[in-house]
A = this chain, B = another copy of it.
Amino acid sequence: MVSTKENQEESAEGALSKKQQKKLAKEAQKSAKRAETVSQESQVKEEDVSAGKYGSFGMIRSSNVNSSELRNRIFTHIKELTVQMAKNKVWIRARLQTSRAKGKQCFMVLRQQQFTIQGLIAVSPNISKSMVKFASNITKESIIDIFGEVSCVQNEIDSCTQKQVELHIEELWEVSAAKPQLPLLVEDAARPLTDGDEGLNIRVNQDTRLDNRILDLRTPANQAIFRLEAGVCKLFRDILTDKGFIEIHTPKMISAASEGGANVFTVSYFKGNAYLAQSPQLYKQMAIAGDLEKVFTVGAVFRAEDSNTHRHLTEFVGLDLEMAFKYHYHEVIQVIGDLFTKMFKGLRDNYQDEIDAVRQQYGMESFKFLDPPLCLEYTTGIAMLREAGVNINDEDDLSTPDEKLLGRLVRAKYDTDFYILDKYPLAVRPFYTMPDPENPKLSNSYDMFMRGEEILSGAQRIHDVELLTERAKHHNIDLEKIRAYIDSFKYGCPPHAGGGIGLERVVMLYLGLDNIRKTSMFPRDPKRLTP
C-alpha cells in the first residue's frame, strides 16, 4: 500500500498552475523557518532534527497563533488531493481516524467530513524518531494540522476515499486532542449494514449513537443525511418562493391547544400556563386572512404523544404551507404536487453524492416519482386494498399497515414511490376540514405518501364562521377555547387550503431509512431529552 519513489515520479505532472505551485513551495519554506516559535508544548531534545516541525499548538486562541504566516496559510481539503496533485506539498487540517505504528513508521487514516486519505510518517534523515513517536501517540479523533507531500500509490487504498494518493508527512501539529477512551469508533459507526457480523465487525446500536451524537455525526452517512436534509429545506423554500409564497414565523407558545386538547405540552408562563403549538395551523390561516395570500413556515412543532415508534418524535420540524385559491382546492393540490416533483428532481440532480454515501452504509432502492404526480381518490385506494384482501369500508381510516400495503400496491401498478390520496372521509379529519358539498361523508382533504408512509396531511379549511362553529360543536369542542380561531374568519377570508410536511419523515423515506431518529440531529421522544 505504500507508494514508491518511482510511482510518485510517474505521475509528476501537477494539476496546479505554476503560480500555485510556487505559492505552495514558498509556504513550505516559510514553515521550515518557523521553528520553535509556534510550539508551546513540544518537548524536543536538542538533537532532534525534526525540532519545530511537530508538537501541539496549545489552545488556539489568537496570541499563540497570531503570526501573519499562520494567518495567511492556505489549506487544502482532503477531497481535493488527487493524482493531479502528486508531488505538491500541502497543508491539511483533519481528524486522525486511526493510526498504526509499525517499526520506524506510522500509518494514519486522516479524515475531513466524509473524505479520508492515508498519511505516512517514517524515520529518515529529516524525520526524527521522536517525531514518529509523537505521531503514533496522537489519540484517535484528535484534530491535527499536517504539512506533507501528495504521493501516488501503487496499489489502491481500499480503506480510504482517496484511493490513489497518500500524504507523506513533513510537519505535524496537534490542534485539539481527543481523550484516549472513545465511547464509539467512527469506523464502527460507519460500517455498512451489508458487512457480515463475524469477527471484529462491531455494530453500534442506536442509543449509543444518539448518546454520543457528536461522534456519530462524523460518519460519512450522517454527514450526507444532514446535508441532504438541509437540501430539502432549501428546495422547499426556494420552490415556494419562486411560486410567490412568503415565509412567515408563527409562535410556538400559544394560549390554547390548537388542535384540541390532547397530546399537548404545557409550559409555565409567568403566573399562568401556555401550550406548545402542535402545528402552525391557526397562524398560517391568520396570515391568509391577513392578505399574505401564499405563506410557508419552517419550524419546530410539538406532540406530547407517548408513541415509541420508528416514525414518531415529540418535537420535529414542520414544513408548512397555506394558500388562498380562487375556485377549487385542487389549485392547491397542484401546487403542492409540483413542489414535491421539483423537490425530488432537485435531490436527484444535486445530492447524488449524499444519496450514494447513505446507500453505501444502509443500502436502499432509488426513489421513484412521476411527473406530474399520481393523484388517486380515497375510495380508489380503498378499492385497491379490498381487492388485495383487506377488510375495509369506504369511510374507515387507513391504519399504518394499510397505508404501507397501499404504497406497495400503488408502486406495483404505477411505478411511483410518491402519490396523493384525495377526498378523505369527513369523519376521520379535524373539525376545520371543509366538507365535500356533494357528498356529506367526504371532505376536501388529502394526504401525500412516500414509500407508503404519510408525509403530508392537508385540506381546504373552513373559512366560514357559521360552518366552522357548527363543525366544532359536532366535534364537542369547547367554542370558548377556539374563539380567537373562529373570529379570524369574521372579517372576510378567501377560500384557502394547505398542508404540513414532516421534514425528518421526508428525509427518512426519501433515503429509505428505517428510523426517524436517523434523520433528526438531536431527536426527542418520550424517553429521550438528551443530548
Closest chain B residue, CB of each to CB of A142: B492
Whether a CB of chain B sits under 8 angstroms from the CB of A100 is no
Instruction: List, in ascending order, chain B residues with CB within 8 A of A298's CB.
Output: 298
A58-72 CB contact bits vs B (8 Å, 1 = yes)? 011111111000110
Q: By the criterion CB–CB under 8 Å, are B434 and A283 in contact?
A: no
Q: By the criterion CB–CB under 8 Å, are B274 and A529 in contact?
A: yes
Minimal beta-carbon separation of A246 from chain B (angstroms): 5
Q: By the criterion CB–CB under 8 Å, are B223 and A66 in contact?
A: no
Q: By the criterion CB–CB under 8 Å, are A66 and B328 in contact?
A: yes
Q: By the criterion CB–CB under 8 Å, are B252 and A233 in contact?
A: no
Whether a CB of chain B sits under 8 angstroms from the CB of A522 is yes
Q: By the criterion CB–CB under 8 Å, are A300 and B252 in contact?
A: yes
Question: Which of the residues B59, B233, B438 comes within 8 Å of A62, measured between beta carbons?
Answer: B438
Report the separation of the CA atoms of residues A73 and B325 in the bound assembly, to the nearest whole angstrom: 12
Whether a CB of chain B sits under 8 angstroms from the CB of A267 is yes
Q: By the criterion CB–CB under 8 Å, are A179 and B521 in contact?
A: no
Whether a CB of chain B sits under 8 angstroms from the CB of A254 is yes
Q: By the criterion CB–CB under 8 Å, are A467 and B226 in contact?
A: no
Q: By the criterion CB–CB under 8 Å, are B246 and A175 in contact?
A: no
Whether a CB of chain B sits under 8 angstroms from the CB of A119 is no
Q: By the criterion CB–CB under 8 Å, are B494 and A531 in contact?
A: no
Instruction: List, in ascending order, chain B residues with CB within 8 A of A229's CB.
Output: 249
Whether a CB of chain B sits under 8 angstroms from the CB of A427 is no
Number of A residues whose C-beta is below 8 Å from B? 110
Report the separation of the CA atoms of residues A317 and B230 in the bound assembly, to the nearest whole angstrom: 18
Whether a CB of chain B sits under 8 angstroms from the CB of A168 is no
Q: By the criterion CB–CB under 8 Å, are B217 and A291 in contact?
A: yes
Q: By the criterion CB–CB under 8 Å, are B492 and A253 in contact?
A: no
The B-contacting residues of A in range 411-456, CB under 8 angstroms, are 434-438, 444
Q: By the criterion CB–CB under 8 Å, are B142 and A302 in contact?
A: no
Closest chain B residue, CB of each to CB of A528: B255
Q: By the criterion CB–CB under 8 Å, are A484 and B95 in contact?
A: no
Report the separation of the CA atoms of residues A217 and B75 in the bound assembly, to the nearest whole angstrom: 50
Tell me the A residues contacting B by CB distance below 8 Å. 59-66, 70-71, 73, 75, 93, 95, 112-113, 139, 141-143, 175-179, 182, 213-218, 222-223, 226-227, 229-230, 233-234, 237, 241, 246-255, 265-270, 272, 274, 276, 282-283, 286-287, 289-293, 298-300, 302, 304, 306, 314-315, 317, 326-329, 434-438, 444, 460, 463-464, 467, 484, 488, 490-495, 503, 520-522, 524, 526, 529-531
- Taking A63-B436, A175-B495 as given, write out 15 further A-B residue pairs in contact, using a Cβ cutoff of 8 Å, ordered by the A residue number: A61-B444, A61-B460, A143-B494, A176-B463, A176-B493, A176-B495, A226-B246, A249-B300, A251-B522, A252-B252, A255-B529, A266-B268, A270-B526, A283-B522, A488-B531
29 contacts between A and B (CB under 8 A): A59-B467, A59-B495, A61-B329, A61-B435, A61-B460, A63-B437, A63-B438, A65-B327, A93-B326, A112-B291, A175-B494, A176-B495, A177-B492, A214-B488, A214-B491, A217-B286, A217-B290, A217-B291, A223-B291, A230-B247, A249-B520, A250-B521, A250-B522, A251-B300, A253-B314, A265-B267, A266-B268, A267-B267, A286-B531
